[in-house]
Amino acid sequence: MESADHEVLRHAAEWLDTGETVYLVTVARTFGSSPRPPGSMLALRADGTFAGSVSGGCMEYDLARRARENELPESMPSVITYGIDQQEAQRFGLPCGGRLELVIERLAETGSLRDLLTAVDERRHIARSVDFKERSVRLDTVPGGPEFSWDGRVMRREFGPAWRLILTGAGQLSRFTAQMGLALGYDIVVCEPRTEIADQWDVPGTTLDRRMPDDVVLDLVHARCAVLALVHDPKLDDLALIEALQGPAFYVGALGSRLTNDKRRKRLTLFNLTAAQISRLHGPIGLHLGGKSPAEIALATLAGVTAARNGVDQVQATRPEQLPNALAS
């Protein structure tokens, strides 16, 4: 499943290759609520065709109109501001007093864009910086840092798998979770030491690791990582959880009913985990959405991960009687 970043970059590169005039529009700063966060991108052709999103729709169509009617700024890169007054804010669906700043660039050649797209294809972490004063674009490999920054002169955006999901088990639920996770821009690592199951894993864009779960977590976990125990087998899940709960992962979750997870928490006390560490466990995993199929459970799981990643305090409301029997036992 293609991520939003990949879709925008791919269209921009393809259009440039066919000789089209192409602009890249990026949300640089928001004031008040906004439908898209800073760093969101839109590829725009001179004829008004676009891919990606910088708002709920109104601004995209206005940008397309500007492109068709040659009303885009002559000097590039440049900043376009929406929502300057109340009338314009209402027109574009912004809250009263809301404002949105967009950086618009005219893409001159495919070289650096292709390099960026290749890095995204290869799941490499890379940053793209646009310097307004020097009118230059630079690509850098980066160990980390803010995903997006804009100081009025330099706009810097990170691409690639800055965020990671470690999944235990290569079963059907992990398959759906991995596919959705790829669309959300995660680096996906599937831990499956059972040969007969590992040999059947075939989700492109993911990494299959055949080591034991505790070794995988110890080696790969970091602060932008979520560890999801999806095997429903204590011999594997508990190994991953013991290490994950002591580490820096921003989310640690385990499949199963409340009763199953209560038993799991009691087992974890036998491994010298503190009460504070055990309290980090999201079990049952994810948010209660009322779904029963593996795809719905994957969606609920990633909804919980997304809430945690965005700092949203969500009450865990999954009830065992509303999970499939095979998953709730």
pLDDT at residue 88 in the model = 60
When divided into structural domains, the chain yields a total of 2
25 and 151 within one domain = yes
The region, left, alpha or beta by phi > 0 then psi within -120 to 50, assigned to residue 160 is left
Beta strand 99-107 with 50-52 is unpaired
pTM above 0.75, yes or no: no
pLDDT at residue 315 in the model = 52
pLDDT at residue 246 in the model = 96
172 and 45 within one domain = no
pLDDT at residue 328 in the model = 41
Which pLDDT tens digit goes with each residue over 117-172?
A: 888 777 778 899 999 999 889 998 876 567 899 999 999 998 876 789 999 999 99
220 and 99 within one domain = no
Provide the CATH number for the domain around residue 311: 3.40.50.720
167 and 314 within one domain = yes
170 and 151 within one domain = no
128 and 27 within one domain = yes
282 and 207 within one domain = yes
Q: Which residues pair with 187 in a beta bridge?
A: 164
pLDDT at residue 249 in the model = 95
- Return the half-sphere exposure (C-beta side, CA atoms, 13 A cut-off) of residue 265: 20
Q: What is the pLDDT along the chain (329 residues), one digit of tens a residue?
A: 667 888 899 999 999 999 999 999 999 998 766 677 899 999 999 999 999 998 867 788 899 999 999 999 988 899 998 876 666 655 655 554 567 899 999 998 777 888 888 887 777 788 999 999 998 899 988 765 678 999 999 999 988 767 899 999 999 999 999 999 998 889 899 999 999 999 999 999 899 999 999 999 999 998 889 999 999 888 899 999 999 999 999 999 999 989 999 999 999 999 989 999 999 999 999 998 888 899 999 999 999 999 999 888 765 444 444 444 444 43
82-115 burial: b if 16+ Cβ within 10 Å, else e: bbeeeeebeebbbeeebbbbbbbbbbeebeebee
Whether residue 284 is preceded by a cis peptide bond, meaning omega within 30 degrees of 0, is yes
11 and 150 within one domain = yes
140 and 169 within one domain = no
Boundary (domain end) residue, out of 130, 159, 188:
159
Domain that holds residue 142: 4-159
What span, in angstroms and rounded, lies between the C-alpha atoms of 245 and 222?
Answer: 12
235 and 129 within one domain = no
